[in-house]
Amino acid sequence: MLESLKERLKAIYCKWSTLGMHFPFVRDPVDGKPSITLFFPYASFAIAAISVIALHFKPGLFVPTCVAIAFWSLSTVFYMIRKINKASVNLTSKSIELEGGDDKP
């Protein structure tokens, strides 16, 4: 029994290391592959939501809740800017121009 469990875990590890791990809703909509930059916003949102709920029962969790929300915000921003090809900032007209690739294949 222990040997078959070891073999099954080894097979799962080999599959995940070659094909990637497939979490629901963590596939990049553009190329259909698993995306770590999309996984972080999903995972950090779940942690932040649980932290906000826990904050209602333990007010001492205010700082960890703020950190969880900040991490979710940063990971969402990093996911959104992954396709930016060109950025320019014009200080005289106070404008920012961003150019990125299409999200559509």
* Cα–Cα nearest to 69, from 80, 92, 53: 53
The confidence band for 85, taking pLDDT boundaries of 50, 70 and 90, is low
Give yes or no for a contact between 48 and 69, defined as CB atoms under 8 angstroms apart: yes
User: Mean pLDDT across the stretch 28-44?
Assistant: 80
pLDDT tens string 57-67:
999 999 999 99
Please identify which residue in the block is written with the tokens 């909509």.
29
pLDDT tens string 9-25:
999 888 888 877 766 66
Query: Residue 91: its pLDDT value, please?
Result: 80
